[in-house]
Structure 1
Amino acid sequence: MNGDWLLRGRDGRLCVYLPSGDAVLCRAEPGPGGPWEAPRRIGGDQKLRPGLSVGVGADRYAHLVAWRPTGGGQSGLVHSTHFRPRLAPLDWSPVGHPDKKGARTGTPAVAVDARGRAHLFVRNADGGMSLLAQKEKGGWEPWRDLGGEGLQDEPAAVTGESGLVEAYAAADGVLLHWRQEKPGAQPVLDDRAEASVRPGTLRALATSAGHTTVFFTDAVSGDLCAWRPGGPPVALAAAAGPGPVAAVRCVIEGYDCTLLGQRSAGGRVAFAAYPTEREAAGAWWTESGPALADDAELALAVDETERVVAVTLSPSTGRLLLTRRKDEPGLALTAWQEV
């Protein structure tokens, strides 16, 4: 999965999106801290290929994008909108292919601008970045080639506090950044940094009114690094484990902090927090919960009471575990529970 697959909906309820074979399921909580609803299949009987991406806008509507088989070894992208966690998402709608037709080219990434328009970023067959953006009154703009070459499979997309859409992608020895200059404009490649990025570890987060930050694991040093365009990447700490990091902003002891989570090398969830955009302060890992399966993924969110929620999912076992921040000083968490 690529993006924030644990989301707080427009009605305040949390929802998770779960790949299951050739389908995607969703589960929602009826109320804060209560039992979760049973999984529901999204989009009817449409069969999907691996590589779900999820994005959410200021209106709290979730946008989902995935690949589907179209016959003859070819694939096409499909899109669905989920307006509220306890409602059924819309059926999957075909949105095409960055090269008009062909095989799956890479894992998509989705960001949603201030006007609720989804922007779908995906690597094309030439190894560059392609974009498909929704029109404000329905339908989609034509596919756009945003440039770049030799890109890794998974880009990261994010919406800044300004409502403008941004994207990050890694290539051999370099990290690239695209950004909209004004609402509705085509994102342009505006910065790059020397970096050796471990594939599949990009995670972007809006961190201030003027900046977004991308986190990644350095393929050479093994450090978890942060980069904001306009400066060099900064090492935060040794990565806790090999997989991607989850990130969310929250208030801890009255301070705006960035909370990071990652499955550790020992299999547990490791957390680290630091003052947002103050990487020089450093970050230190603290492990939590039981040991997880090797394929377990982690997501972080803030619920309607502004408490941090962490969820882990293991596709191989189907286990979904959840913990919430306790209503007390610091970052104490409740015991992990299966939902």
Structure 2
Amino acid sequence: MNGEWLIRGRDGRLSVYQLSGDAVLCRAERVPGGSWDAPRRIGGEQRVYPVPAVGQGIDSYGHLVSWRPTVPGESGLVHSTHFRPLLAALDWEPIGHPNGKGDRTAEPAVAVDHQGRAHVFVRNDEGGLSMRAQALKGGWGPWRDLKGADIQGAPSAVAGKDGRIEVYATVPGAVLYWRQEKPATHFELEEALEVTVRPGTLRALATSAESTTLFYTDDDSGQVCAWRPGSKPVALLAAAGPGRLSALRCELDGHDVTVLAQRSADGGVAFAAYPSEQESAGASWTVSGPQLPADVEVSLAVDADGRVAAAALSPSTGRLFLTRRKDEPGLALSPWQAV
């Protein structure tokens, strides 16, 4: 899944989104920090492909986007809003295809501005990036072609300062960066960073009131790198494994820190933390957890008590594991528990 699929609702409950055949399922805590309910289908009975994107606004509402089959050989994107973990999500709403009609192009991305409007990004048939956003008074605006060429895989989108959306996407030998000058305005292609990115490792995060940071694995060096547009990328540490990165900004022992997580090559989950936007301080991995399936994905959130929480999910088996930070200094984690 593209985005953090472990989220905290406005009622404090943690919930996770997971795949099951042609459906997206949700599981949630019955009470904050308590037991979990059984998986429930999201978005009604429509079939969707297993490529959902997840985003969350400052109102804590979850937004999900995926492709669904329409007529033979064609597909369209759909969107659902989930207001609270234990409530039913809205049915999937069709939002169309960036080229009017056609088959799936690539995984989408979704980010939510400070007015609660979802912005959906996806590669179009010409290889550029297209975007469609919810309108202020309901409905959706038109599809807009943000240009670019030869985009590979899923973009990574994030709401930055004042709710302005920023989006990153990879092309052969570079990362492209778009942003809004002001909230609810058009997107401009601002910068291209010459770098070779390992597929599927982009993760954008708002790391301060002024900046977003893109984390990715450099395919040549195998290093996890941090890049803020307008500066040079910084090699932070060697990638723990081949999978997608998870990233979280939070408070740890009174300090503003960024936490990274990734499935390690030896089967556990690796965690690293460092002062936000201070890559020069360095970071190192600490591996946690039992031996996990090779396809496990990791996601991070802050729970109702302000503790870092991590979920590990195996799409092939549906098994879900959860850990939280213990009440002691540093990023010490409790034993992983099967949910």
TM-score by length of 1: 0.99
Determine the structure 1 residue equivalent to 2:146: 146
Q: Report the RMSD for the aligned CA atoms in angstroms.
A: 0.8
Determine the structure 1 residue equivalent to 2:102: 102
Unmatched 5+ stretches in structure 2 = none
Partners of 2:320 and 2:236 lie apart in 1 by: 29
Determine the structure 2 residue equivalent to 1:69: 69
Determine the structure 2 residue equivalent to 1:304: 304
1:101-140 to structure 2, matched below 5 A, reads 101-140=101-140
SS of the counterpart of 1:162? Answer: helix
Q: Does the CA-based 8 Å contact 1:274-1:282 persist in structure 2?
A: yes
Q: Does the CA-based 8 Å contact 2:33-2:304 persist in structure 1?
A: no
Determine the structure 1 residue equivalent to 2:194: 194
1:39-58 to structure 2, matched below 5 A, reads 39-58=39-58
Q: Does the CA-based 8 Å contact 2:13-2:33 persist in structure 1?
A: no
Q: Does the CA-based 8 Å contact 1:119-1:131 persist in structure 2?
A: yes
Determine the structure 2 residue equivalent to 1:170: 170
Partners of 2:5 and 2:187 lie apart in 1 by: 24
Q: Does the CA-based 8 Å contact 1:195-1:233 persist in structure 2?
A: no
SS of the counterpart of 2:126? Answer: coil
Q: Does the CA-based 8 Å contact 2:162-2:183 persist in structure 1?
A: no
Partners of 2:281 and 2:65 lie apart in 1 by: 37
Unmatched 5+ stretches in structure 1 = none
Determine the structure 1 residue equivalent to 2:282: 282
SS of the counterpart of 1:155? Answer: strand
The runs of 4+ residues in structure 1 deviating greater than 2 Å are none
Residue 157 of structure 1 pairs with residue 165 of structure 2: no
Partners of 1:219 and 1:285 lie apart in 2 by: 19
Q: Deviations over 1:149-202 (max 9, x none)?
A: 111111001011421111000111111111111121022111121110011100
SS of the counterpart of 1:126? Answer: coil
TM-score by length of 2: 0.99
How much does 1:58 deviate? 0.7
Residue 219 of structure 1 pairs with residue 229 of structure 2: no
SS of the counterpart of 1:184? Answer: coil
Partners of 1:195 and 1:92 lie apart in 2 by: 37
Partners of 1:120 and 1:102 lie apart in 2 by: 17
Q: Deviations over 1:207-226 (max 9, x none)?
A: 01110001000011111011
Partners of 1:12 and 1:62 lie apart in 2 by: 13
How much does 1:33 deviate? 2.1
